Amino acid sequence: MDNAAELVIQARNLTKRFGQLTAVDHLDLNVPRSIIYGFLGPNGSGKTTAIRMLCGLLTPSEGSANVLGFDVPGDANPLKSRIGYMTQKFSLYGDLTVLENLRFIADVYSYPRAERKSRIDDLLDRYDLGKQMKQLAGTMSGGQKQRLALACAVLNKPELLLLDEPTSAVDPKSRRDFWAKLFALADAGTTILVSTHYMDEAERCHRLAILDHGRKVADGSPAELQASTGMSVIEVLADSPWAAQNELNTMPEVKSVTQLGIRLRVLVPESATDPLSLVSGKLSALGMNAECSIVAASLEDVFVAVTLKDGDQEQAA
């Protein structure tokens, strides 16, 4: 996006230190309006800290951010009414019913009383909570709690929705249903920033940033990232995949070998000459029966490639 007015979030050199630990390290970020933008990274990569700075809950040690036209944390108070925030852990009141939780959040946002009942009724219907409206939130299943948390996060019709690993404690079907609701929100104009460590969820994002030890190491659409790994990806079907993995890991040209069932995913820098022959020749010389082919990079391949340090080689687990 060239037009800064179309950017919902802009961050420059955003940094957060906790003593000697740098949790977020000079993060630059541009998030356009009405898309789902993902933060992909393992635990400890800085995703939660970055989100908390962007919504004004943490003060940056360095750098600046502008969210919906407000500087954070300086203008965080007027920003609060225009954003929704869903934490990783269920943070609503377990000893209140679904309806009572929604009414409480409506009070927090000072939602207009004349419109409050219709808004809550709409949320109960939209997020399939009507049958649980009188149920204590603490007795609900993981998927039900997730839907309630999302309903509360969007009660005030936020322009920006911040979700911190929202599906980490639910089953795959609940995750699919949850993402269908996110796409509906984005289609209606809500901008969504969601953190995740699931590759399949990251592939659903319109754009994403990959974070590693607090630093942004890649940024783009999933297709753009998969097309620019800097690695040739070779899939190996071997009679003895574990033995083949051990042998391939001894090659200096090979940067990573990952076993997926009976298949191996081998990453070799694009600068290497004829990487397919390099891998197949090594296994053939050792008398190992294997079929090798060049394949398109997956998002997991991208993640491995961009988080490998120069000169590093990922060892077999």
Alpha carbon distances (Å) from 213 to 25, 65, 69, 276: 8, 20, 28, 32
State residue 5's pLDDT score: 47
pLDDT reported for residue 205: 96
Domain boundary, last residue among 179, 194, 225: 225
pLDDT of residue 317: 37
Q: Please report whether residue 122 resides in a domain.
A: yes
Asked if 23 and 29 touch (Cβ cutoff 8 Å), the reply is no
**N-terminal to C-terminal alpha carbon distance within the chain:** 41
Say which CATH number the domain at 21 has. 3.40.50.300
Q: How far apart are CA 157 and CA 104, in angstroms?
A: 16
- Is residue 133 domain-shared with residue 174, that is, in the same domain? yes
Single pTM value for the model: 0.88
Q: For residue 233, what pLDDT is reported?
A: 97
**For position 309, what pLDDT does the model report?**
59
With a CB cutoff of 8 Å and minimum separation 6, the contacts of 38 are 193, 194, 195, 196, 201, 202, 204, 205, 207, 208, 209
User: Could you give the angle at the alpha carbon of 216 between the alpha carbons of 208 and 37, nearest 5°?
Assistant: 20
Which pLDDT tens digit goes with each residue over 243-293?
A: 999 999 999 999 999 999 899 999 999 999 999 999 999 999 999 999 999
Instruction: Find out whether 137 and 148 touch, Cβ atoms under 8 Å.
Output: yes
- Are both 250 and 111 inside the same structural domain? no
Please tell me whether residues 62 and 199 are part of one structural domain. Answer: yes
- Indicate if 63 and 139 belong to the same structural domain: yes
Residues 53 and 161 in one domain: yes
Q: Are both 12 and 131 inside the same structural domain? A: yes
Number of compact structural domains in the chain: 2
Q: 170 is in which domain, residue-wise?
A: 4-225
Alpha carbons 279 and 130: distance in angstroms, whole number: 57
State how far the Cα of 113 lies from the Cα of 210, in Å rounded to an integer. 42
Predicted pLDDT at 316: 41
Residue 165 included in any domain: yes
Annotate 257-289 with b (16+ C-beta within 10 A) or e (fewer). Answer: bbbeeeebbbbbeeebeebeebbbebbeeeebe
DSSP 296: P
Same domain for 298 and 162, yes or no, is: no
User: Which among 183, 114, 112, 187 has a CA at the least distance from the CA of 150?
Assistant: 183
- Domain membership of residue 314 (yes or no) is no
Instruction: For the chain, list residues with pLDDT below 70.
Output: 1-5, 309-317
pLDDT for 3 equals 44
Same domain, 149 and 96: yes
